[in-house]
C-alpha cells in the first residue's frame, strides 16, 4: 500500500515538475545563445559570420569552416559544433571543451567559463539540430594542405604582404615567436572624415 501511495504521489507531481523543467529550458537556451555570441564562437565556427557583421540566421550558425589556420602546430579547422554536440552527452561536451587544444581555439576561455555557462552553450547548440558537414581533419606540420588556410603566425613588417584595404593597416604589432602566441595583429585606422 505504501509503495502504491508513493507511486500515486509521483504521478501527480510529474505535470508540476515537467512544467518547471519546460519553463527553465527556454532560459537555458537563451543563456547558451548569449554565451555563444559573447564568446565569439561564431567568429571561427560559422562561415561568413564576421563578413556579414553577425547578420546570419541561426540556421547557419556553428556548422564549421573548411578554411584552416596554419602555424607551427600544423593546420587546424573550426569544428562543426552542431554535429559534435549531437554525438556527445552534456557531460562529455563539458569535459571535452575544457581540454587543451591547438591554436587558435581558446580552450583556456572554455575552462574559465562557469559550468552552468558551458552546459547552457551545449543545450543551445544541441537545440539548433545537426547541420553541415564535418570540418577537415587536422594536418600535421609539413604535411600537404589541400584546403585554403589562414597563415596564423607573426610576420615581420618587412616581409608581410598585406594588401591594403579600407581601413588601411597602419602598424603591425610584433608578437613573441611562440606557438602559444601565434597571431598576426594588424591595427587598422579608418580614414578620418573632414568636418566642415
Domain ranges of the chain: 2-50+63-128, 153-189
Residue 68: Cβ-neighbour burial (10 angstroms; 0-12, 13-18, 19+): buried
- Residues 29 and 175: their CA atoms lie apart, in Å, by 38
Reported pTM: 0.69
Neighbours of 71 (CB within 10 A): 21
Bridge partners of 151, per DSSP, are 70
Confidence of residue 157 (pLDDT cuts 50, 70, 90): confident
Element (H, E) at 105: none
> pLDDT tens digits, residue range 50-87?
999 999 999 999 999 999 999 999 999 999 999 999 99
How many other CB atoms are there within 10 angstroms of residue 46's CB atom?
Answer: 23
Mention every residue, 6+ apart, whose C-beta is less than 8 A from residue 35: 113, 117, 120, 121, 124
Amino acid at each position: 500500500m505504501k509503495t502504491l501511495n508513493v507511486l500515486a504521489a509521483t504521478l501527480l507531481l510529474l505535470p508540476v515538475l515537467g512544467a518547471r523543467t519546460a519553463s527553465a529550458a527556454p532560459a537555458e537556451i537563451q543563456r547558451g545563445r548569449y554565451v555563444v555570441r559573447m564568446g565569439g564562437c561564431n567568429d571561427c565556427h560559422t562561415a561568413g559570420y564576421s563578413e556579414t557583421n553577425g547578420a546570419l540566421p541561426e540556421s547557419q550558425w556553428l556548422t564549421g569552416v573548411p578554411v584552416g589556420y596554419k602555424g607551427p602546430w600544423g593546420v587546424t579547422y573550426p569544428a562543426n559544433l552542431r554535429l559534435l554536440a549531437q554525438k556527445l552527452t552534456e557531460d562529455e561536451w563539458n569535459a571535452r571543451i575544457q581540454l587543451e587544444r591547438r591554436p587558435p581555439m581558446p580552450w583556456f576561455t572554455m575552462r574559465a567559463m562557469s559550468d552552468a555557462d558551458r552546459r547552457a552553450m551545449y543545450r543551445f547548440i544541441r537545440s539548433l539540430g545537426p547541420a553541415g558537414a564535418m570540418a577537415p581533419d587536422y594536418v600535421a606540420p609539413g604535411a600537404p594542405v589541400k584546403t585554403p588556410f589562414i597563415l596564423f603566425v607573426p610576420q615581420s613588417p618587412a616581409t608581410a604582404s598585406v594588401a591594403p584595404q579600407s581601413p588601411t593597416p597602419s602598424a603591425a604589432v610584433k608578437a613573441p615567436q611562440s606557438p602559444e602566441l601565434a597571431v598576426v595583429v594588424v591595427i587598422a585606422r579608418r580614414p578620418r572624415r573632414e568636418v566642415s
